[in-house]
Amino acid sequence: MLVGVCDFPSDYPFPPAAYGGIERWLWAVAVGARAAGADVHLLGPGWIPDLGEDWLRKPVRLEEISAGSLAERELRRAAYDLLVVGHEYPSHPAWSRMRDRLDCDVAAFQHSPTFQHSPNAFDGKQSRLYCYSPEMVERYADHEPIAELAVHLGIDEDEPPAATGRDLVWLGRVDSDKAPHLAIRAAQILGRRIRIVGPIFDEEYVRTHRSLFDADHVEFLGELGGPAKVAALQSADAFVYTYARSYVEAGAAVFGEALRAGTPVAALTWRGGTCAEAATCEQTGVVAVTDPIVDDETAAHRLADAIAQAASLDHTTVSAAIASRPIATSRPWLHARDEGGVERPDICLASADSRQSVERRRSRWPSHCSSPQSLDALSAAAPISVVDRDARRARVRLRRSWCGAGLLLTASMGT
């Protein structure tokens, strides 16, 4: 199986050293695909050159390739089974025309709550769109989206063992959309210290809430990446999540980053069906769904209550809950089925694990700690469909998931 992971024009490298959204997701997919036994090519000039000799980089972008050119012939000879791209590319006419000539599957994750796709960008089969939350699935219902969590990964960000934390941490870009002033005020109500991690995107927003940002209980760490970012999350008593009332979170990386570090989540949301609810459960976090008509002070008190509850959760239990999710298997089973629907164990794309073993793990998963989507529905959805050339294009479907052991792939079969 050959997977091409495509970059795009960006202000950040692939993968970025610290801040970055889609760039980090694409790197996580590349790492996860290789962990599942796939061959991976990093397509585009944006991939950093010092990833190691075992990563194959091809500095080409589909939208820049002319039909019939040498570059096109080289891509066709490679015979990609799957291209993984940023959410905008399937609606890019030049990119889509070249992808059609390559005749391969496409998978994209919706990282924007407002981007308008072309009507034929996704068909739910060969070209598929994935969305993090029920809220996002509803927003993009016309494109037959598939509900799936997402992992983001940077360089040297392997998850650490769970540890008892101290203080609180908030992570993200500092602006009015992300509303960290609510987290700072909630920490102040509790008499707790809070660390703010992330780049300042809006200086005027910070000036507006200067009395909070300058308070003695606030430590501003700025933008962190790699081991320093992981350490900031691991050492926290709880991770605090906020956003503005009018903002729609498409697929927050911070939930996976915090939970993989064993740090419970306290989230303030303004409606149901959000990313916070999709990512957490009773063992891993507390979500305070708050009426958007209340003022900031009332909302901060609601968040403070959630923080107090989340801080009482055991970090080791958080890590164990994430690692034991049934869709997060450490040995992905990737058997194909023939045209009659019979499983073919001789067509194995990675280390094999039996369906029975996966089902046993599923049966042991606590019902109160599953995601809002039923596990059966997730299995039926079966993200990222690919083709095994050696099996004469037998269809195999892979699922990405995040867990305590890192980004892995599990599989669900189909024709």
Give the pLDDT confidence score for residue 273 in this predicted structure.
95
Whether residue 358 has pLDDT greater than 70: no
Least confident of 98-102, 172-176, 408-412: 408-412
User: What share of the chain has pLDDT > 70, as a percent?
Assistant: 78
Whether the ω angle into residue 15 lies within 30 degrees of 0, i.e. cis, is yes
What is d(CA 75, CA 59) in angstroms, rounded to the nearest whole number? 12
Bridge partners, 269 (sequence order): 289
- Indicate the pLDDT class of residue 157, thresholds 50, 70 and 90: confident
> Sign of dihedral through CA atoms 121, 10, 206, 264?
positive
Contacts 24+ apart (CB under 8 A), 287-295: 292/245
Give the pLDDT confidence score for residue 156 in this predicted structure.
80
- Give the residue-averaged pLDDT of 343-355: 31
Residue 7 phi, psi (nearest 5): -85, -170
- Give the residue-averaged pLDDT of 357-367: 32
Least confident of 31-45, 224-238, 315-329, 387-401: 387-401
What is the widest separation between alpha-carbon atoms in the chain?
67
- Give the residue-averaged pLDDT of 299-318: 97
Residues 1-149+326-364+371-415, CATH architecture: 3-Layer(aba) Sandwich (3.40)
Whether domain 166-321 has CATH 3.40.50.2000: the reply is yes
Give the pLDDT confidence score for residue 163 in this predicted structure.
85
Give the pLDDT confidence score for residue 251 in this predicted structure.
86
The per-residue pLDDT for range 3-25, each reduced to its tens digit, is 999 999 988 889 887 777 899 89
Residue type, 70: L
Give the pLDDT confidence score for residue 325 in this predicted structure.
61
Higher-confidence residue of 129 and 374: namely 129
**Averaged pLDDT score across all residues of the chain:** 80
Please tell me the number of Cα atoms within 13 Å of 64 on its side-chain side: 10
Higher-confidence residue of 387 and 273: namely 273
Task: Give the residue among 184, 155, 133, 152 at the shortest CA–CA distance from 260.
Answer: 152
- Give the residue-averaged pLDDT of 318-335: 53
Least confident of 138-142, 144-148, 357-361, 396-400: 357-361
Q: Which token pair is 379?
A: 């299995």
User: What share of the chain has pLDDT > 90, as a percent?
Assistant: 62
Nearest 10 degrees: CA dihedral of 316, 410, 120, 83?
A: 100
The residue ranges of every structural domain in the chain are: 1-149+326-364+371-415, 166-321
Identify which of 52-61, 213-222, 320-329, 380-389 has the greatest average pLDDT.
Answer: 213-222
The per-residue pLDDT for range 250-278, each reduced to its tens digit, is 988 899 899 989 999 999 999 999 999 99
- Give the residue-averaged pLDDT of 143-172: 87
- Indicate the pLDDT class of residue 147, thresholds 50, 70 and 90: very high
Least confident of 100-114, 118-132, 299-313, 343-357: 343-357
166-321: same fold as 1-149+326-364+371-415?
yes
Whether residue 408 has pLDDT greater than 50: no
Whether residue 288 has pLDDT greater than 50: yes
Whether residue 307 has pLDDT greater than 70: yes
- Give the residue-averaged pLDDT of 61-80: 93
Q: What angle do CA 149, 155, 160 make, to 5 degrees?
A: 70
Higher-confidence residue of 308 and 401: namely 308
Higher-confidence residue of 287 and 339: namely 287
Confirm if 257 and 187 have CB atoms less than 8 A apart. no
> Sign of dihedral through CA atoms 335, 338, 343, 345?
negative
* Length, in residues, of the chain: 415
CB contact set of 235 (below 8 Å; sequence gap of 6+): 163, 165, 166, 167, 169
